[in-house]
A and B are shown apart, each in its own frame.
Chain A
Amino acid sequence: MAVETMTQPGATDQADPYLSMGQELLALDRQRRNIQRLKVSGVWVALVIILAGGLLQLRIEPGYIIEHAGIVLAGVEWTILVSLVSITFATIIALFGALGRLSNNSIAQGISGFYISVIRGTPLLIQIYIIYLGLPQIGQAFGQLGIPLLSSLLTLSAFQSGVLALSINYGAYMTEIFRAGLQSIPHGQREAALAIGMTRGQMLRRVILPQAIRVIIPDIGNQFIAMQKDSALVSIMGLWEVTFRASRFARRDSKFMEMFILAAAIYWVLTIISSWLQEILERRMRHAYER
């Protein structure tokens, strides 16, 4: 980064007779980095070839993978949908969670602290079971008590359960991210806002949050990448996403390695794409306020 800014026009002294020396050094440096990158990519390719070769030796059927690739790949839609909806809710939960944690109100502090402790202290899988299988049981009890509305409200579809579980779970972890982001804004900003007469709420909304969001957004990206993979757990409820499709065929035809390697590859590619998008986002956030 620092090297590249030096090539900007006007940054170097045009009268310097050794100007070409700087350019040469820059070119050499770039060349060295490119070669390094090429070598690393070579190692990746070699590893993939070795793995693939090994698997083929062990009577893995590539034909079966190719044949079922389309139908498993179709589950990506669900994977992305579940992740996108969940990350949205998780972000909202995290915002309020962080505000609660940082507030002086003892009730808000208590609720958010309790929420984070319980959710981070229990496995996501158990949370999914409780929401998908446990809640309808309570719902039934309400139904027998003559409150059918509550009964149907507590009986969630696989998609709703998955989204609820992932949102609540990630919301708890992201609360800490939001809290750190809000606290990363220099204290002077707070003081300047208060000094011109803002309330705490106005200060948060107008001064702290707009700055904190630039710190937080790249982290939301990281959480989204992690969530795409955790969304595989939703398959236990029979939602037709990648993992569920893969495991269905795997069990039916006893093609476990074929199908799970395929699923793994799909998640991997999804992650690579998301990481790339996230990097762009992060770069844009870093150049804040320079336009």
Chain B
Amino acid sequence: MEVFKDLAEYGLDLAQSNGRCCEYAEVRLETNQIDTVSFINGKLHLGNLPIDLTSDAFARKVGINIRLLVNGGMGMATSNQLTKQSIQDAIHRAFKTAKRSSSQRKHPIKMSEEKVYETSWQSNYRINPMEVSLEDRITYIQDFVNIFKEKLSVEYVHIFVLMTEQRDTYFINSDGSKISSHVPRVNFMPIIIALKSGGQNEQLMSNYATTGGWEKLISWNLKEKVIKKVKVLGDIITKATKPPEGSIDIILGPDVAGIISHENCGHPHEADRILGREGAQAGESYLKGHKIGFKIGNECVNVFEDPTIPDSYGFYLYDDEGVKARKRELIKNGIFNEMLHNRETAAIFNTNSNASARAVSYDREPIIRMANTYFAPGDYSFEELVEDVKSGVLMMSFTEWNIDDKRLQSKYVGQEAYLIQNGEVTNTLLLKPTLEISSPGLFSSIDAQSKKIEWQGAFCGKSEPGQGCPVWTGGPFIRLRKVTLG
């Protein structure tokens, strides 16, 4: 990386010389490494997996990304050939395309004024997952594979994916910022399908992910958790019964709360969606046309976003536009409080960026992304939430889910779900209780949360070409009153 910093500086100087007049220029040099070790039904696999589980199982990438703002038009050029010639060509292409774009725009793109930083940062870890030997990774996964060597009540398909990666960047811009970063990540993904003859089946996909090093993954002692989930899957397809119908109270577990915080709150708060920039891709937002201060839900509802949470999968301290990261309070006391901004959208809204610009590799533009999205904890214990429910459902986890492209109409199908009766969680497992509800309907049904947050890793999909961005989603238990299950 050090060797190529001179090339980055060369590129930035070139972008602003020889008669080129840019309002803004940035150069991002980046290396990405990925290693993925998988076991498929007990057999080791060192390669890609289908159905979008991995597409680059082992990869080594390096490249440069140049963005130029010329006369209010934006151009981007990338190259992995790190020579002065290729950088000259990239600058020329970015400049030419930015200038041509500007002639087509009615309103010029502007960037907000932000502080300048010269710094370097990294995630906090002791053992870099990329440096763990293949033997140790195989041993780690084998421990989970061995679960299925025992006699089990039903048949299972089991796939375990262990993905380690490392991203190193060097970012400089025409404002004077110079920022280096180093972030290794690890993600352990069990994909398990319980099968019963006669066709019933139940599928689990989980992500246990962190930037806190290999030691953090080990400290989670996941085997017991996975054993329990395997048993629950088997119980669901053999014992689960029809869920209650009509208007009931429902308590959602942290897994479900987390995905809701991401889908029903995080995404519609992205300023580029609100402004229409993702209109042909991930869609827009039901918050378009509403101003900050608009009432979204009950006063107890708080949903926050924070890249700086230690060990989190979405961790960063400066975003990919050089802005210092901080916590963002998206919904505060039930009110639309803050959007997620990059420098372009911040300029439109006459505010400052809150450091939401992320790119997943050198060949992708930085766009507004979440990092770690969560429902804030409340004042209740789990027991207190339950004891005030006469008849209801506890939805611990979810299986199928989706949401419309305005982030308004959502669906969550429960996986591990139990009947609550007279203030107690029973042992009655329920088969696929389905919550199909609008975002305002959901946020205005929440009346209480428990005190402790739990987290789940995920990859968030957005943009074109697609960028699967590492994030955490999280929350406590949350209680909804009088909702109808489908």
A-B complex is real: no
Chain A residues within 8 Å of B, Cβ to Cβ: none
